Structure 1
Amino acid sequence: MTKSPENDRKDGQPAMHRPPIVSPQAWEAARQQLLVKEKAQMRAHDALAAERRRMPWMAVEQAYAFAGPTGMVSLLDLFEGRRQLIIYRAFFEPGVFGWPEHACRGCSLGADQVAHLAHLNARDTTLAYASRAPQADIARLKARMGWKMPWYTIIDSFDADFGVAEWHGHNVFIHDGDRIFRTYFINSRGDEAMGTIWSYLDATPLGRQETWEDSPEGYPQSPPYKWWNWHNNYAAEASPDQKWVEVSDAGEAAFRNRDAGAKA
């Protein structure tokens, strides 16, 4: 009797029970069946993000300060002139495994998957990291690991006050003039999915700011795709290129028709 490859294990581990091997037609049928559930999950995600945009805001009353590359800065300074701010508390400090050569392995994995921030900035949103390590150590770590996000030193009770003294997490803020509000908080396994432009924007009070979203009246919105750009070209273009408008219009129509077909 000839053994199948999955049963011929030489490492002492139990044999892997693989799924059935089927024809292309049967495989496509199985994919379509699963796609129905995936579409439902995506719509549930969109509905949850819409609910998140309606969360109450908490006023930040204390004047928090941070050490930055050029000196002391306030929490409002961390917005860098944009309306929204996401702060990730990364563990890089004495006593953390890896110090002083490395930050926490989990926080470092998260930092490795952060997308190019120009796209997030184009939606009036800033991402910043914060740790208790001195700025000299943070600069050395960023250079060694190739990380580009702004990274500040916590010097007061910010981490304790916002639930990240003992564990990592993303705190989301918005400001109205000089007034700052906390709008959301993600930690534990919720942090695992963070890193894409969409995961960050979906956590913010203004969302992706696209016309298809269910947002409260008066929230900033623009057509999907139109604002997308090369990461080094946002400053050069005040409005989308006409050719890109034509391409994105066609893509938007195709996806709209496909989504309508899935609902039928």
Structure 2
Amino acid sequence: MTQHAPHPAPHHVVSRDEWLAARKAHLKNEKALTRLRDLVSAERRALPWTKVEKNYVFDTTDGKKTLADLFDGRSQLVVYHFMWLWDRELGCPNCSFLADHFDGANLHLAHHDVSLVVITRGPVGKFAPYVKRLGWKFKWASSYENDFNFDYHVSFTKDQLATGAIEYNFETIDDPQYQNDEMPGVSVFYKEGNGDILHTYSGYARGLDILVGAHNFLDLTPKGRNEDQIMDWVRRHDEYEDADPHACCGSKSASAA
């Protein structure tokens, strides 16, 4: 079943010359955004780094692997922190939506000294069938038996949640509606020639928008993303027959930026 968004708000239908004048006026803002994005990207690359002190060991379908192993011979590693829904033994639909973009990017990242790995607390025996179901080819690992997700502030214990406040997206979140035991994020690491691993960046909440190519296409269209809450329309790509939108990670964002 194809979903159809409501008709866009009424728009003026004008002559080609009037349309062109409006489009050129809008182009000024688009160019300003591009320049600001370039500035933010440069600031991100210039951030200081911090050494990873723990020796994390992950489970994979190929056996145990350390964080260093996940670099796969490259110097840069991008980790997507994938939410596992413990109550349903499924991956989060919104994280799955993001993950649908990864295999295409990986065709190029691997040739640019970048390894991309999905890390989830979902156990190997549960997550492997989920990956097979959705047809993904990217590499992934389970942090079920280590502290990785907790250390990078995307997983939270019952005791942490019981305090009424968690640290997520570099701020204290004290509103229960924005708290979960699993949250989405991305972290980036660099490996020095001597084997030291440096943590260079992490992003959360709306900061993950940069990974979502489908959003960029939708933002070009008259109907846009057509959402009441962030990503409330998203489903796993094999579940679009289900007419009921369901909210998950990021649909009630703890931070708009």
TM-score by length of 1: 0.64
Amino acid in the other structure paired with 1:164: V
Contact 2:50/2:198, CA 8 A, preserved across alignment: yes
Deviation of 1:17 after TM superposition, in Å, equals: 4.2
Match of 1:105 among 93, 117, 132: 93
Amino acid in the other structure paired with 2:82: A
Question: Aligned pairs, how many?
Answer: 180
Deviation of 1:187 after TM superposition, in Å, equals: 0.6
Match of 1:50 among 42, 49, 56: 42
Say whether residues 1:186 and 2:226 are aligned partners: no
> Post-superposition, which runs of at least 4 consecutive aligned residues in structure 1 deviate over 3 A?
none
Distance 1:31 1:133, change over 3 A: same
Contact 1:138/1:151, CA 8 A, preserved across alignment: no
1:173 is aligned to 189
Secondary structure, counterpart of 1:193 in structure 2? helix
State the percentage of identical aligned residues. Answer: 34
2:112 is aligned to 123
Match of 1:25 among 17, 25, 30: 17
2:139 is aligned to 150
Deviation of 1:92 after TM superposition, in Å, equals: 2.0
Secondary structure, counterpart of 2:84 in structure 1? coil
Structure 1: unaligned runs, 5 residues or longer: 1-12, 200-264
Deviation of 1:192 after TM superposition, in Å, equals: 2.5
Distance 1:141 1:17, change over 3 A: closer
Deviation of 1:194 after TM superposition, in Å, equals: 0.8
Deviation of 1:174 after TM superposition, in Å, equals: 0.4
Amino acid in the other structure paired with 1:112: D
Deviation of 1:195 after TM superposition, in Å, equals: 4.3
Deviation of 1:68 after TM superposition, in Å, equals: 1.1
- Separation in 2, partners of 1:162, 1:20: 48
- Note the 1:1-264 alignment, pairs <5 A: 17-95=9-87, 99-100=88-89, 102-114=90-102, 115-154=104-143, 155-165=145-155, 166-177=182-193, 178-195=195-212
Distance 1:16 1:158, change over 3 A: closer
Contact 2:121/2:149, CA 8 A, preserved across alignment: no
Secondary structure, counterpart of 1:191 in structure 2? helix
Secondary structure, counterpart of 2:59 in structure 1? strand
Q: Taking CA–CA contacts closer than 8 Å with sequence separation of 6 or more, which of the two structures ends up with the larger relative contact order? A: 2
- Separation in 2, partners of 1:130, 1:16: 38
TM-score by length of 2: 0.66
- Which of the two has higher C-alpha Rg? 1
Deviation of 1:28 after TM superposition, in Å, equals: 1.3
Amino acid in the other structure paired with 2:200: T
Deviations 1:156-175 (A, max 9, x none): 11111111113110011001
